[in-house]
Amino acid sequence: MARLQRIAVLTSGGDAPGMNAAVWAIIKLAASRGVHVVGVERGYDGLIDGVFQDLTRELDDGGLAPIGGLDWLAGTGGTFLGSSRCTRFLEVEHRAVASDAMRSAGIDALIVIGGNGSLTGAHLLATEGDIPVVGIPASIDNDIGGTTDAIGVDTALNTIIEACDRLSDTARSHHRAFVIEVMGRRSGYLAMASAVAVTADAVLLPEQSRDEDEIVTELEQLLRSSFSGDRNKRRVLIIKAEGVPTPTLILADQLQSRVADLENVTVRPIVLGHLIRGGHPTFHDRMIAGRLALGAVNTLAAGLSDLMLGWQSNIGASTSDPNVSTVPLIEMLAETERLLDGSSEITQMRLHLLSEVQGVLAL
């Protein structure tokens, strides 16, 4: 096996806090092993168009170091390399162009940091071409198989908690209910995990596929019992995942008209949306970013390909870090589908746990 000389790194799909920390760790770890790092701009779009920038430079003594002035990276949100949702990469011809662009730039391995769409691209590139590719899971949705946490999830949850605490302050002052939408197109993980952490009164998830009338009737009862003389609660928080089909504004409107007879009770909608994706990464996200990056650099140095580094994974092979495993991308993609269609043991377990606390939430 030829010695690794030049690896490329790209970030793709929805940005996630901690992506920059992973890139920074890759630059430093690779440099310490004498390997150059090249950044790819705008995800797979930049890979197809060959838009690369050197992130490592040669020192006078023959060693390698990160390009000066990049040390702010690890603590920042977003992705400084830029990202895209690249539809061209769905076509095999464009993936071949990307492999050619890497070869022309002397790149001998690639690290893809992103969610399940990006890791699907990584698998196709690894199997169709001859350049080794490994993936690092990063998506606030936590909908990636083969990893307990994806980079960005912890920061997103902390942002949701802070927003809900602030909303609770104002809600309590007015005997008010808030319907709070959090991101998660196909996955209710953020809604489920944050609902428990902020002691919400109810949570709505796409995985539950519930009928709209049933939801509205149940929430009406919740509002009536919460604000009644008996209970006299001062605030109600309903966390709704983005993937639940009823639009949040409409749901809040429907609830408001159902409880029109309750004096002084108001229902307000709020969509947290992209606010949840930004911000400085938490300690946990920076920590897993660094350890997954170490796994990725070591995996490529060992000449392996078509793998994702998973955090506390229930599948895959162990690495030098007891919390990091190498998971075949094909297995990770199959487990992701199961997570999203509800057949995964992990989804079943999460829904079961939620069913146990659902009655408790409303108390």
Q: How far is the CB of 201 from ligand F6P (least distance, A)?
A: 23
The site string for ligand F6P over 295-334 (x = CB under 6 A, - otherwise) reads ----------------------------------------
Residue 15 CB, nearest distance to ligand F6P (Å)?
A: 8
Q: What is the nearest approach in angstroms of ligand F6P to the Cβ of residue 200?
A: 19
Closer CB to ligand F6P, residue 44 or residue 227? 44
3-state secondary structure the chain: CCCCCEEEEEEECCCCCCHHHHHHHHHHHHHHCCCEEEEECCHHHHHHHCCEEECEEECCCCCEEECCCCCCHHHCCCCCCCCCCCHHHHCHHHHHHHHHHHHHCCCCEEEEEECHHHHHHHHHHHHHCCCCEEEEEECCCCCCCCCCCCECHHHHHHHHHHHHHHHHHHHHHHCEEEEEEECCCCCCHHHHHHHHHCCCCEEECHHHCCCHHHHHHHHHHHHHHHHCCCCCCCEEEEEEECCCCCCHHHHHHHHHHHCCCCCCCEEEEEECHHHHHCCCCCHHHHHHHHHHHHHHHHHHHCCCCCEEEEECCCCCEECCCCCEEEEEHHHHHHHHHHHHHCCCHHHHHHHHHHHHHHHHHCC
Site for ligand F6P in 37-76 (CB under 6 A): none
CB 38 within 8 Å of CB 87: no
For residue 93, the SS3 value is helix
**115 vs 290, beta carbon nearer ligand F6P:** 115
Shortest separation between residue 205's beta carbon and ligand F6P, angstroms: 13
Q: Which is nearer to ligand F6P, 154 or 201 (CB)?
A: 154
Nearer to ligand F6P, 85 or 224 (CB): 85
Nearer to ligand F6P, 103 or 185 (CB): 185
C-beta separation of 146 from 310 below 8 A: yes
Instruction: Say if residues 45 and 86 touch (Cβ distance below 8 Å).
Output: yes
> Does residue 141 carry a catalytic annotation?
yes
Distance CA 337, CA 169 (A): 39
- C-beta of 224 vs 280, nearer to ligand F6P: 280
Six-digit token string for 185: 């197109």
x-or-dash string of contact with ligand F6P, 170-209, rule CB under 6 A:
-------------xxx------------------------
- Residue selected from 20, 56, 139, 336 as contacting ligand F6P according to rule CB under 6 A: 139
Closer residue to ligand F6P in complex, CB, 186/338 = 186
The residue annotated as part of the active site, out of 45, 108, 141, 306, is 141
Q: By rule CB under 6 A, what count of residues binds ligand F6P?
A: 12
In angstroms, what is the minimal distance from the CB of 242 to ligand F6P? Answer: 5
Among 108, 242, 306, 335, binds ligand F6P (CB under 6 A): 242
Chosen residue from 8, 12, 14, 286 binding ligand F6P by CB under 6 A: 14
Residue 140 binds ligand F6P (CB under 6 A): yes
| Shortest separation between residue 185's beta carbon and ligand F6P, angstroms | 3
Smallest distance from ligand F6P to CB 276, Å? 8
> Which positions are annotated as active-site residues?
141
Residues lying near ligand F6P in the complex (CB under 6 A) are found at 13-14, 85, 115, 139-141, 183-185, 242, 277
